[in-house]
Amino acid sequence: MNNKLSFKNLLTTQQLTHQDISLLINTAIDLKNTPLTNINAITPFPILASLFFEPSTRTRFSFESAILRLGGNYINLEQANTSSIAKGESLEDMGRVMSDYADIIVLRHPDINSMKAFSQHTTVPVINAGNGSEEHPTQALIDLMTLYEHHQRLDSLTIGFWGDLKYSRTVNSLTKTLASYSNNTFHFIATDDFQVSATCETMLTQQTCNYVKTSSLNDCLEKLDILYVTRTQTERFTKTLSEYLSPLNKDLLQNIPKNCIILHPLPRVNEMSNDIDTLANAHYFKQSQNGLYMRMALIKTLLQNE
């Protein structure tokens, strides 16, 4: 199998070929099965720049942990206002300069245009760790790895997305990647205000994918292979939470098929109650654990891609 990725920067899920996805999933699963003491350090000692202009727990710490476990180190931005961006520096200039200080750069930013601007003059790989409500490609890779581990395939699956589908970049990115595999069916379960974005819908129509929009989980629960839950992205709009989600709980999932896994990119806030954690279907903590291995796989493969 070819062990090179088709891209240098990972800015959108559209760059991911099926060969890239298989390579990354296989590498991540191998790393997961390798005792940490047997993991070969990357030489020469790589430095990762971790630039987060939005809050993060899993994404940031798993990238930072990943580079440390691969024998490298990281430099980071504690808060956007501690960098020269606060003085008015452009993302273009920041990207150019950071390329001299790091071997790989991870960027999260609220602006959907930030990735393009930042990577205009960079000379080292840049990874999109979330750009506004648009994309979160590494989360999609983690989601694919987790569902592949359980279902052993990425095609012929029925997936239900539940929650805030409109503003969730993880829903966008996972929908785009799954739409490229054959025979997947999508159920978007949300109120009208939070239904899947028009861009996603257009893409699904163009790719002649089967999809249904509904406001009732019961319409599709019994058909699902994956139930993907997301929180309300309150930072991206001004509505109040009470206008929207009544939490998903164990009682509402009585008819969930035995083989259906529940995924959630986390954090959860109040859209999903903790009693679901006791169900064998709950795979979201495995999913967040996979974040470490997928990000190790991505860093390792990108740095050895030359």
Which residue ranges make up the site for ligand NCD (CB under 6 A)? 58-59, 130, 136, 139, 169-170, 230-231, 265-266
How many Å apart are CA 154 and CA 270, to the nearest integer? Answer: 30
- Catalytic-residue membership of 136: yes
At closest approach, how far in Å is the CB of 44 from ligand NCD?
A: 30
- Catalytic-residue membership of 116: no
Question: Choosing from 87, 208, 238, 240, which is the catalytic residue?
Answer: 87
CA 222 to chain centre: 26
Strands (E), the chain: 47-52, 73-77, 104-109, 126-131, 158-163, 185-189, 210-214, 226-230, 261-263
Asked if 227 contacts 160 with a C-beta cutoff of 8 angstroms, the reply is: yes
Question: Choosing from 60, 69, 108, 268, which is the catalytic residue?
Answer: 108
Which single residue brings its beta carbon nearest to ligand NCD?
A: 265
- Catalytic-residue membership of 58: yes
- Catalytic-residue membership of 87: yes
Of 222, 229, 214, 301, residue with least CA distance to 272 = 229
At closest approach, how far in Å is the CB of 305 from ligand NCD?
A: 24
Query: Which one, 49 or 106, has the nearer CB to ligand NCD?
Result: 106
How many Å apart are CA 271 and CA 164, to the nearest integer? Answer: 10
At closest approach, how far in Å is the CB of 282 from ligand NCD?
A: 16
Query: Which one, 57 or 210, has the nearer CB to ligand NCD?
Result: 57
Asked if 203 contacts 176 with a C-beta cutoff of 8 angstroms, the reply is: yes
Query: Which one, 12 or 170, has the nearer CB to ligand NCD?
Result: 170
Query: Which one, 106 or 154, has the nearer CB to ligand NCD?
Result: 106
- Catalytic-residue membership of 300: no
At closest approach, how far in Å is the CB of 58 from ligand NCD?
A: 5
For residue 142 the two structure tokens come to 């983690």
In the chain the first and final C-alpha atoms are separated, in Å, by 17
Question: Choosing from 12, 13, 59, 122, which is the catalytic residue?
Answer: 59
Active site residues: 58-59, 87, 108, 136
